[in-house]
Structure formats: structure tokens, C-alpha cells
Amino acid sequence: MMLRRFGRVAVLPVVWVVWSWSGVVAAAGLPDFSELVVRNGPAVVNISTEQRAEAEQAALPKLPFELPDGSDAAPLNEFFRRFFGDQPEPPLPDASLGSGFIISADGYVLTNHHVVDGADAIIVRLSDRSELSAKLVGSDARSDIALLKVEAKNGRLPTVTIGDPRRLKVGEWVLAIGSPFGFDHSVTAGIVSAKGRALPQDTYVPFIQTDVAINPGNSGGPLFNMDGQVVGINSQIYSRTGGFMGLSFAVPIDVAMEVVEQLKAHGSVTRGWLGVMIQDVTRDLAESFGMSQPRGALVARVLPDGPAAKAGLQAGDVIVGFNGEDIVYSSDLPPRVGRTAVGRTVTVDVLRGGKPRALRLTVAALPDQPQAAANTPAQAPPRADRLGLLVADLSAEQRDKAEVTGGVSVQRVEPGPALEAGLQRGDIILSVNSVEVKDAAQFERLVGRLPAGKAARLLVQRGEAPLWLALRVPD
């Protein structure tokens, strides 16, 4: 450690600043978490896992005493290889570390799916340093929740109290207990930064965002409110360095407990499904649909034979309500649909052409592999248009692979409205202002009729996903 000396003039202001800040902290009346930790700490556990790596076959080295193939002793080469050159490497265990908490006195423990995923052995260590072997009851990757079961020696274990995350307020104090980097029962505190956050690849969880310091090893640990109730499970962080940067995300405990009930009953989780692909409504898209302001979930594609298709939903519909609840952002829809019981009939409120409609549909079970469309760039000669696009017709084979009946393939994007709107080479343009595109010639006519200075919308297919894009034709 390097120590640096300071003169008297430099030290005095520093001491004064520290003293002044201490007075401010004392006067502010910041919360004391000590009682909460004493009361709930014993129910928080450290979770370690072990996964056996596959034995790797060692490369066959050239033996220094290898005998010529033509000699009478050549068969001894195989003998030497068996003992010296053809031995597999011993398998090495792959260990991981995380946190969890006990939700019932008979030994049910909650943690993250990614903490125990692929584990051959799971060990739960209690606050008194005793260790229990855990059995995996079930795990759900979509919500990142896993349920474990341990057998208590005395029949009863300390438990946490489950709270209601819906009553959390942004700015409210919260506290985490876990094992970051293996430091058992570390306590960190912060505030609720936001609620209902949607993260990429985690559309079925409305995360609680906090600024509580979370690091590797905290995963699966509890997030407490000031009443000592668990309101979330610390799951992941946003970081550019791999360490904490002030953005932590927890799975709301009510979402987790719904998963727990299904895991107990069935060992797996089913979710509601509409059969649509959606996106956010931007300001320009809202204008093109005749909406006064952006809101709702814009339907980019309706999957065939799904609940939405059977109910009559169409690409271009904007879902603004689901089962009596407003849909403000597109991220509001998936968790509400996912938590709806399979087989239940609900009302979906949509805007179609700027006019409201109410549709009734029956929610189905989310399939393991939702339908997706593939895209192959076309090879036909490209055509130019006023948007700065070069497009081409799709071949019959390309349409079959993309599962489309029309559309044109974007061959090149030049500087202009299309480039500014975000179109890319390889996109398939399916419609212009909700008019289906049949071929390149018709697309050119549609583009030629677009009014200057007005927002127009294009439905494109990019890779496996549809996407609405808005652009403005210059005057």
C-alpha cells in the first residue's frame, strides 16, 4: 500500500469536511438496518454447486521409444500407448457460487435458475455454517427462478416473510443480503430506482430496478423492504465491467411465488400466449397511425393459428388494453399475458386505423419454440426508389423460407429517409402504410404516392422478427 504525506494546510480542510458530512448524516436520520439483518439473516443461505466436466481424451504423444513397424517387437508399441500415451485427463469439477433464502420451515429454498443450472450437486450453507444437500424441485429459465428442497436436521428452519412488491414505491429504501464473491451474509442497501423494467430476453418479468450494490455471488439472494419482507430476488446487473455500476435488477417476489406454486405442483411452468410479435410505438409511428401520442404495443406480426389470429388481430393493430389493464408500453404486455391462466378468455382493446375495437380471445399456452420466419437476401436485379432504397422481388424459394406471400428485399440503403429510419440490407418490406407489398413494381408505385413531409410506416421483416419503422419523405 502506498501512503502519501500531506502538510498541515492540506489536512485541516479534509478533517473539517469529514466532520461536517458526519453531522449532516446524523441529522438526516438515515435508516438503521441492523435489526432487520439480525431478524432475517439466518434465513439467507449460501449456495454452492458442482458440475463434473467431461473427461477429455489426451492427445496421443509420439513415444520416444517407438519401435519400427517392420520389426518383430512392433506390437509392443500398442502396449506402450496403453500405459503412457492414451490416458484420458481426469474430470475436474466446475463450481459456482450464489445465494438463496428459505421460504418455508420444512426446507424449501428459493434462488436463481442460473445459479443451479446444470449442477450435479447443490450444497446449501446456513448462517451457522452447517451444510445441507439440496434437491432441485424445479427450475424456470424464463423467470430465472429455481426451487430447492433441503431436509432440516431439527425439522424446522428459519424463514423469511414474503411481502407485496406492488406496494413498493420508487425512492423507497431496500436491502440485500447475499454472498458476493463468496463473502457470506454481506449486506448492501439502496433505493428502488424503477419498477416494471423490461430487459432483453426477459420479457416475462417486470423487474424491480435498484441501486443496491449487487455483485457475482449475490444472485438468488433476497431483496428486503424496510418492514423486513422479501419483495424481490436479486437476479442480474447492468455492467460494462462485470462489476456493479449502480443498476441492479430483482425479480418481483409475487412473480417468483407464482412460479414456485407451479414448480411444486408440476415441476415446470406454463405461461399464457397470444401469438403476436410486438414493438413499441414511436412518435412518428403514432402519427402515421393517427394517434395523438405514443402508447400501447404495436402488433408487427400475427402468428398463424394462434389465439390472436383466431380472434382477428391484425398486423398494425395497437394493443392499448389487456383484460381491463392499460398497456402504456409494449413491455407491459408480455408479463401480463404470461401470468394469465391458460384457457382463460379475456378482452383485448386495440386501435385499428385510429379507431378503438374490443376483441375477445382465449389465452393459449406459450410454446417452447415460438414460430419464427427466416430471411434470405434476394438475388434479382434491384430497383431504385425515392427513399434511397434499392429493392428486388423475392423468389418463390425465398418467400417459402421467409413464410411470406409478398414483399420485397432491400438490396442497398443509400443516404436518405430509409437510412435515417433504420432500414438495413436484407430487410423484407411487407407493407407501406398498411398496404401489403406484392412486388418491387407495386412497391415503387406506393412509394411514389407517399405525401411529402408526412410520416409513413413500413412493416419489415428482419431476420426472424417483424418490425414497424416510420420515416418522412422530404419536401
Instruction: List residues with catalytic annotation.
Output: 114, 144, 219
* Identity of the residue numbered 127: S
Give the Cα separation of 219 and 199 in Å (integer): 16
Nearest-angstrom CA–CA distance, 208 and 163: 14
Grid cell digits, residue 100 = 438463496
The SS3 assignment for 382 reads coil
Q: How far is Cα 430 from Cα 52, in angstroms, rounded to an integer?
A: 49
Residue 163's alpha-carbon distances to 37, 191, 233, 405, in angstroms, are 16, 16, 12, 51
Phi, psi of 390 (to 5 degrees): -115, 120
* DSSP H or E run through 18: helix 8-28
Beta-bridged to residue 162, according to DSSP, are: 230
Q: Partners of 207 in the beta sheet?
A: 197
Q: Which of 223, 255, 256, 219 is nearest to 237 (CA)?
A: 219
- Amino acid letter, residue 42: P
Q: What number of residues does the chain have? A: 475
Alpha helices in 94-226 (DSSP H): 113-116
> Cell numbers at residue 42, please?
439466518
CB-based burial label for 414 (10 Å; 0-12, 13-18, 19+)? exposed
CA distances (Å), 352 to each of 21, 291, 317, in order? 58, 10, 5
Report CA Rg, the chain: 30
Residue type, 105: A
Q: How far apart are CA 363 and CA 343, in angstroms?
A: 5
What distance in Å separates the CA atoms of residue 168 and residue 188, rounded to the nearest whole number?
Answer: 18
The count of other CB atoms within 10 Å of the CB of residue 308 is 23
Cα Dmax for the chain: 94
Identify which of 329, 365, 325 has the alpha carbon closest to the alpha carbon of residue 348: 325
| Neighbouring residues of 391: CB distance < 8 A, sequence distance ≥ 6 | 382, 383, 385, 408, 409, 410, 411, 429, 440, 443
